[in-house]
Amino acid sequence: MTIQKTYTMIKPDGVRNGHIGEIVNRFERAGLTVERMELGEVTAEQARENYKEHEGKPFYDGLISYITSGPVVKMVISGDGAVAKCRSLMGATNPAEAAPGTIRGDFGLIMDENVIHGSDSPESAEREIAIFFG
């Protein structure tokens, strides 16, 4: 058993459309633990730091604008293989390609507003937890 911590964030469209409870419930039903959860705003500085690998790409400015456009739910989630388990529950990045039963497959509408963000590795999780929770 490999207990990990990961970072997930319900994006502005997920909050706006009322999916917080169902999304958190899916993580808990999968045997994961929500260690920390906070409703709040993403600052421009946090957004730039979190998405710095995309700087210079055509979608970068829109991504920063979107993620800072409204409240988000920031979470630290832990459990056995938490990174991979959360990624599986979230589904493909593009909601059009996400399987039914995944968070993005059920709630995502378009690529630019795909409901949820999740760390893609233990190293990313550590970095992102530091960005959003200090």
Q: Could you list the active site residues?
A: 117
64 vs 42, 47, 55, 59, 107, CA distance in Å? 9, 6, 10, 9, 21
Q: What is the CA radius of gyration of the chain?
A: 14
Residue 55: both structure tokens together: 């700087």
| Burial of 62 from C-beta contacts in 10 A (0-12 / 13-18 / 19+) | exposed
- Cα 111 to the chain's mean position, in Å? 14
Q: Which of 121, 120, 94 is nearest to 105 (CA)?
A: 94
